[in-house]
Amino acid sequence: MEKTLDTKVFDNLEKLQVVLSEKYQIQAKIEDVPKQLGAQEELLARLKKEYIEKNSKYEALKEKVDGLKTELEEAVRLREEGEKGMDNISTHREYEALEKQISEAGEKEGGLRKELDKEEKSLAELDEAIKADESWIKSQEKDLNEARASLDKETGSLKKELASLEKKEANIGANIDSEIKYKFERIIQRNNEGIVNVKNGVCGGCHMILPAQFANEVREENEILFCPYCSRILRWQESKDGEEETYYTIDTAGSLADLDDDDLLDDNDDDDDIIEGNDGAEKDDDLLDDEEEIEDSDEEESEE
């Protein structure tokens, strides 16, 4: 039977497949670039938050230390005044009053000095921690800026590659039907391979046995046909010289249940249009024919 479909269509699809695969890989890399900085940005944000909290704590502690110093000065003043007043007392009552003033001021002074020493030590430690954080933040900011610059350069290079691939895609795609090209792009996005060879009646993508009549239609190449199982475009591959063409049985090829998830498209409305028009339901019924009909497919093709 004379072929009505130019074989260059399949050649163009195979060329487009290479271009699209590279294109989608580069797009994925470009989308992944911001994620590479995520950990560094998160660390820097956490350091800055801790730095702000420590500064707030430092200011509060500094205010407390200043208050303790004021209280200590007042306690010292009262103690010293009482001690000086001892030289001028004339009565026992005055003596008792000054002695009490000196004692209370002395006790308060001692307590304040002890507390002040403790808080000043904490303030000094906090000051050192803040200075260390400042240094660490500057270092992280420098590293992050360098990483951004490097990734920006890498992204620029990837975008140039992407532009070149898109130009090739446009040139090749101009020779392919727009609807076929649209479906083809979606298939490659999911499976990384949009066109596969059929050999011995088996799809090279999902490795499922194709119904005999459908396999013959693929071989005739009168139209673009999609695998009823994985939705990839099918192209017939002739056996090499001297190579015996043998059809697999259902037992050796497996069933739909044996396929990996990646080999099958999701069951949704968008995928219906890929298989639509390929008599998928009729071909599924053919798949249920007995093994004898499948094994005799070579003979049927010879008769045709």
H or E element that contains 21: helix 8-36
Let me know how long the chain is: 304
Does the pLDDT of residue 31 top 60, yes or no?
yes
What is the rounded distance in angstroms from the CA atom of residue 119 to the CA atom of residue 14? 76
H or E element that contains 199: strand 195-199
CB-based contacts of 102-105 (< 8 A; 24+ apart in sequence): 104/78, 105/75, 105/76, 105/78, 105/79
pLDDT score recorded for residue 283: 39
Place of tokens 């059809």: 247
Label residue 217 left, alpha or beta by phi (over 0 means left) and psi (-120 to 50 means alpha).
alpha
pLDDT tens for each residue of 285-296: 443 344 344 344
CB-CB contact of 281 with 229 (8 Å)? no
Please report, for the chain, how many H helices and E strands are present, in that order. 10, 3
pLDDT score recorded for residue 5: 65
More confident residue, 176 or 275: 176
Domain residue spans of the chain? 28-171, 178-303
* Nearby residues of 126 by Cβ (< 8 Å), 6 or more positions away: 54, 57, 58, 61
Q: Which CATH number fits domain 28-171: 1.10.287.1490, 3.40.120.10, 3.40.50.300, 3.30.70.600?
A: 1.10.287.1490
Which phi and psi angles does 202 have, rounded to 5°? -115, 135
Give me the mean pLDDT over the 55-61 stretch.
95
CB-CB contact of 235 with 194 (8 Å)? no
pLDDT score recorded for residue 195: 92
Does the pLDDT of residue 278 top 60, yes or no?
no
Does the pLDDT of residue 116 top 90, yes or no?
yes
More confident residue, 251 or 14: 14
- Mean pLDDT over all residues of the chain? 80
Does the pLDDT of residue 90 top 60, yes or no?
yes
Percent of the chain exceeding pLDDT 90 equals 47
Give me the mean pLDDT over the 251-273 stretch.
42
- How many Cβ atoms are within 10 Å of 157's Cβ, its own excluded? 11
pLDDT tens for each residue of 118-172: 999 999 999 999 999 999 999 999 999 998 899 899 899 999 999 999 999 999 9
pLDDT tens for each residue of 178-201: 888 999 999 888 888 899 999 989
Of 38-42, 124-128, 252-256, where does mean pLDDT reach its minimum? Answer: 252-256
